[in-house]
Structure 1
Amino acid sequence: MMVWQQQCHLNDNTRNMMKPFSIKMRIVALTIGLLLTLVFFRLIVALPMMQSELHTLVSAQQFSIASYIARDIDHSINARRALLSGLAGRLPTELLADPVAMANWLKLQHQVNPLFSRGLSVIRADGTGVIADYPAKNGRDRIDFAGTEWFRTVLQGQAFIIGKPQRERVNGTPTMIMAASVRDGQNKIIAVLAGMTNLDAPGFLDGLQQTKLGGSGDFLLVAPDDNVFIGAGDPSLVLKRTPISEAYSRYVRTRTRPGDITIAPDGTEELSTVASVPSMGWVVVARLPTQEAYAPIEALRNVMLVGSLVVLLFLLGVFHLMLPRVMRPLTTVARSMRSMADGSTALAPLEVQTNDEVGDLVQGFNHLVACLAEKETALEASEARMAFLAHHDTLTGLYNRGMLEDHLQRALARAERHGLQLAILFCDLDGFKPVNDNFGHDVGDAVLVEVATRLSRGRRRTDTVARQGGDEFVLLLDDLEDGHVDAERLARQCLDALAQAYEVVGHRLALSASIGVAVYHGSGDAVSATQMMARADSAMYRAKRAGKNKICFNDEMTPRPNEQPANAAAPHGSTPARAHKQ
């Protein structure tokens, strides 16, 4: 128990050092760790997955819009191709000689189908000027078209040609020319019908330039083979060379619909998706800055971070308010255990108040207390048993020789100090040896136990009854008024008690005893315990020699009270040699 309490004191001394690792701190640390792990998972795993899904979704939407615009552009070009080819096929050849009539015919056609915003022109086959045009423009009859690439291509026999977009010389407006050959009955080119339109003309590319994608995204129309922008949401890019034409050209060749992160001409990172215009080999690029495309993800990331911070602060507040209350039963139990360990309160079981882990702890502690109490009781019983055996005879339970000597020494000291009297009665059974020899030691031991019972019966609290060894018993009578009289009276009682028949283990036995008495009168020379025992022992042997079942005092020459001794007693105060006992 002391070792356990010392260990508890040691644990109590180290308790403060372990405070940072308390259950409260571990619960808080675990919760924060789980929250941070969740935030980390969301930021590192969940958000990239969501961003990838958003990337796919936005790319699909961009491709859908870009494909629609590309089809619209392709439709516009094919409509102009069909119109110009049809006009070239049904142009009245006789009007080639009448410019005014030709101009009126062109006017009528343009009013019916005004697809060319810059008008229609009929050019001489040698390219030396315009025969007629509508709307009429001064000086066009003197323009030499023979040197232009698109005109030479028409003359080489191609029925229809679309020239490369270019800026008009006068006002710099981006324009594009389409031309078809006019043939006679022999399929000979006799003129060229040309139509010119502004790129941003209504019904052509104006929708591409005016349509916005999201808040800041737009569309580009790129000619990969020429490495120029045909149309763009930013008018300043039109007809400028593009450094990313290779990528767009690759998309056209592989017929893919990518949604890639690219770098815009102004250096902005953007999400681009491409759709092709089949009739021209152009591509429509839908582009949206990634900052805007992934704005929901960024907003969600900010919400997660702010929300996690709010949740963390909320949890810390909850822990601050609730954990002490939740941990109070455990704290109370720990305080009670520490109080018991300190010795402030007695070690006792605690009341089980909750059916949880704290209750299990209390039950475990109560079991420990019960075990300790049981062991302590067993130890006390063992110590008491050992103490009893150290001072008592193991067979009869009477005091042993060592305890008798101790009591005798103290009685002698008390008698000498206060002038009191005491007496020692040395009893030895007569004829005990044949009992062991004839009936066995079990019967002999039972007889000795019965003798001890009879000698102890009726004794005062101050008297001492001891077993000297074997069949010898000693009675110490303390605080006597008349040593001889009191000792003789008690000795007679002992003889009468011991002379009664013994019923033990199915046998009826008769025994007697010889008693030697030594009396100390409390005056005269001091005497030791050994001397007193020797005197009583000597008197006992005189009683045996006198015929047994006798009482003999060490200061008498004859035994008392019954019969005269058969032999002369030893001189007063002498210690005879021990004779063989019967």
Structure 2
Amino acid sequence: MEDKINNLSSSQQQSTASYVARDIDEKIKARLDLLRRAAASLPPAILGEPAALRDWLRKHQEIAPLFSRGLMVVQPDGRKVIADYPERHLSPDFDVSERFWFRSALESREPVIGRPARSSIDGEPMVVMAVAVTDPAGVPIAVLTGATALSSPGFLNLVQGNRIGRSGGFLLVSPRDKLFVSASDHAMILSATPPEGVNPLHDRAMAGYRGTGITVNAAGEEEFSAIASVPTAGWFLVARLPTSEAFEGVRDLQTFIITNSLMIAAFASTVLFFGMRRFFRPLTEAARRMHQMADGHVELAPLPVRRMDEVGELVHGFNYLLGKLREQEAALRASEARMAHMAHHDALTGLPNRAMFHDRLGQAIDRAERGGTLFALLYIDLDGFKPINDTHGHSRGDEVLRVVARRLSGLLRKSDLIARIGGDEFAIVLEVDVTRAGAETVADKCRTALEEPILIDGLRLALALSIGVAVFPQDGRDAQQLIVHADQAMYAVKRGGARVPAL
């Protein structure tokens, strides 16, 4: 039973560690991506205007407040802060030129994560992320940084705000910095990792091992440990639980059996035989069911609690552990469902992406061939989008794409498919009651939907659509032929004079 619980606890610990590590990794990716997009959209002209730059930082912080300690833009020599938000009135000699995150941002030209440390202003534990802002030639003209407090809500809350069991918990470790970034025990936050040789499993984790094991920690306590990577930051997460707590039910059961065996030894052999057999029947049945479930012969299911004695407590504890495992499995399935949705949908508009479009197009061809029916493919390109993107910035361009997606989606039936297949190109598949004239009518409705200018930040932005139509099977009997025909028809429309309406 101890071996079974060991395996079960290891599996549960690994699932928990993987879930929390993925949550942290996604939050770090979101912050690095925000810095990357902000640096790409920062107008170089306002670097010489601190007030305008501070206002720009304020808007970005209010739109996506992922950096609880604010944003800051530093000169490329690191000796002066051009602007920061919120404004902290830093001293004139504030110099970051020798800081690791500053040098790394200039060298890599990609967002970097600094060494977690305490703020020089108020001593709060925090981590700095930075990215170089470059001119068109790729020369750094500034460094954009964002700082997040380790205790800020929605960042490392799953580590700092949770425990495993009564005395277990989490450790978030940075091997590069040899530092505990965060921990369920707040006293360990930003403390140095133990020297090599103190904890063998920790040494293996620092060298790259990921998995589970039993080890003796620096305090001399034996514990289960499960290790999972946070790859974006180069960190790893440890979920740990003392083995004494994990095997508490087994120890109680051993005590119960020994005590009662000594008491019953004095009874007559007949009373002993029948009494013990009846007494241990629920335990025997529970153990047999546990073995069957562990070996995969029967489905995992709660055991019946026949009476609330030591056996009932053990069964109740097993049922509780089984419930926790199911909760972890449900969380993992939900995470997998989110990842599957992200793999088949465009992150900007929420529409199906190119991969799902090709899959649905293939299904439409199969249904049309079996039923001898028609369906239409509309290939759409936005006329006038590139000038909007170049003139008003990528953030407004992204909002234009979202508005276009909503307007086009509102015209279609539930049976129709609209997908964003890349850049400013969309595709529509019409399957039910389709004719070429009907497809052209839908194309006209799409063009009409974009006649009204799009209002963004007080700007009236005008677009037009170039739409090419292909009908199965007249214009092609496979996906490639249909796409080529629709694409050529779209470019023919574009060459024929599709233009952006005047405001």
Q: TM-score, normalised by structure 2?
A: 0.51
Look up the equivalent residue of 2:182 and give its one-letter code: G
Q: Superposed, which structure 2 residues align to 1:42-441 within 5 Å?
A: 50-243=1-194, 247-248=201-202, 250-251=204-205, 253=207, 255-260=209-214, 262-315=215-268, 318=271
Residue pair 1:180, 1:194 contacting (<8 A) in 2 also:
yes
Take 2:236 and 2:69, find their aligned partners in 1: how far apart are those partners? 24
Look up the equivalent residue of 1:231 and give its one-letter code: S
Take 1:104 and 1:280, find their aligned partners in 2: how far apart are those partners? 30
Look up the equivalent residue of 2:223 and give its one-letter code: E
Look up the equivalent residue of 2:235 and give its one-letter code: W
Residue pair 1:208, 1:233 contacting (<8 A) in 2 also:
yes
SS at match of 1:104: helix
Take 1:253 and 1:122, find their aligned partners in 2: how far apart are those partners? 36
Take 1:246 and 1:102, find their aligned partners in 2: how far apart are those partners? 50
Alignment match, 2:359:
none
Take 2:100 and 2:261, find their aligned partners in 1: how far apart are those partners? 66
Take 2:127 and 2:119, find their aligned partners in 1: how far apart are those partners? 9
Residue pair 1:276, 1:284 contacting (<8 A) in 2 also:
yes
Look up the equivalent residue of 2:212 and give its one-letter code: P
Residue pair 1:56, 1:259 contacting (<8 A) in 2 also:
no
Residue pair 1:208, 1:220 contacting (<8 A) in 2 also:
yes
SS at match of 1:280: coil
Take 2:33 and 2:199, find their aligned partners in 1: how far apart are those partners? 29
Look up the equivalent residue of 2:161 and give its one-letter code: Q
Look up the equivalent residue of 1:257 and give its one-letter code: G
Look up the equivalent residue of 2:89 and give its one-letter code: N
TM-superposition CA deviations, 1:422-464 (whole Å, max 9, x none): xxxxxxxxxxxxxxxxxxxxxxxxxxxxxxxxxxxxxxxxxxx
TM-superposition CA deviations, 1:186-245 (whole Å, max 9, x none): 111000000001112111112211111112110011122322111101111111112267
* Distance change (3 Å), C-alpha of 1:246 and 1:174: farther
* Distance change (3 Å), C-alpha of 1:259 and 1:297: same
TM-superposition CA deviations, 1:377-426 (whole Å, max 9, x none): xxxxxxxxxxxxxxxxxxxxxxxxxxxxxxxxxxxxxxxxxxxxxxxxxx
- Kindly state the Cα deviation for residue 302 of structure 1 after the two structures are TM-superposed: 1.2
Look up the equivalent residue of 2:267 and give its one-letter code: F
Take 1:231 and 1:145, find their aligned partners in 2: how far apart are those partners? 24
- Kindly state the Cα deviation for residue 290 of structure 1 after the two structures are TM-superposed: 1.4
Residue pair 1:121, 1:130 contacting (<8 A) in 2 also:
yes
* Distance change (3 Å), C-alpha of 1:245 and 1:133: farther
- Kindly state the Cα deviation for residue 253 of structure 1 after the two structures are TM-superposed: 5.0
- Kindly state the Cα deviation for residue 150 of structure 1 after the two structures are TM-superposed: 1.7
- Kindly state the Cα deviation for residue 252 of structure 1 after the two structures are TM-superposed: 6.4
Residue pair 2:199, 2:218 contacting (<8 A) in 1 also:
no
Residue pair 1:182, 1:192 contacting (<8 A) in 2 also:
yes
Residue pair 2:210, 2:229 contacting (<8 A) in 1 also:
no
Residue pair 1:176, 1:196 contacting (<8 A) in 2 also:
yes
Q: Superposed, which structure 2 residues align to 1:391-540 within 5 Å?
A: none
Residue pair 2:106, 2:131 contacting (<8 A) in 1 also:
no
Take 1:315 and 1:265, find their aligned partners in 2: how far apart are those partners? 52
Alignment match, 2:494:
none
- Kindly state the Cα deviation for residue 90 of structure 1 after the two structures are TM-superposed: 0.5
SS at match of 1:156: helix
Take 1:98 and 1:178, find their aligned partners in 2: how far apart are those partners? 23
Look up the equivalent residue of 1:270 and give its one-letter code: E
Alignment match, 2:367:
none
* Equivalent residues, number: 269
SS at match of 1:314: coil
SS at match of 1:142: coil
SS at match of 2:267: helix
Take 2:108 and 2:21, find their aligned partners in 1: how far apart are those partners? 29
Kindly report the root-mean-square deviation, in angstroms, between the aligned alpha carbons of the 2 structures. Answer: 2.0
Look up the equivalent residue of 1:52 and give its one-letter code: D
Unaligned runs of 5+ in 2: 273-503
Alignment match, 1:579:
none
- Kindly state the Cα deviation for residue 268 of structure 1 after the two structures are TM-superposed: 2.1
TM-superposition CA deviations, 1:80-120 (whole Å, max 9, x none): 11001110111111111111111111111111111111000
**Bigger-Rg structure (1/2):** 1
Look up the equivalent residue of 1:112 and give its one-letter code: I
TM-superposition CA deviations, 1:357-391 (whole Å, max 9, x none): xxxxxxxxxxxxxxxxxxxxxxxxxxxxxxxxxxx
Take 1:191 and 1:246, find their aligned partners in 2: how far apart are those partners? 44
Take 2:251 and 2:41, find their aligned partners in 1: how far apart are those partners? 61
Q: TM-score, normalised by structure 1?
A: 0.44
Take 1:256 and 1:97, find their aligned partners in 2: how far apart are those partners? 48
Residue pair 1:224, 1:245 contacting (<8 A) in 2 also:
no
Residue pair 1:162, 1:179 contacting (<8 A) in 2 also:
yes
Take 2:258 and 2:200, find their aligned partners in 1: how far apart are those partners? 41
SS at match of 1:67: helix
Residue pair 2:54, 2:84 contacting (<8 A) in 1 also:
yes
Residue pair 1:225, 1:249 contacting (<8 A) in 2 also:
no
Look up the equivalent residue of 1:145 and give its one-letter code: V
| Identity value in percent | 41
Unaligned runs of 5+ in 1: 1-49, 320-582
Take 2:113 and 2:204, find their aligned partners in 1: how far apart are those partners? 23
- Kindly state the Cα deviation for residue 246 of structure 1 after the two structures are TM-superposed: 6.4
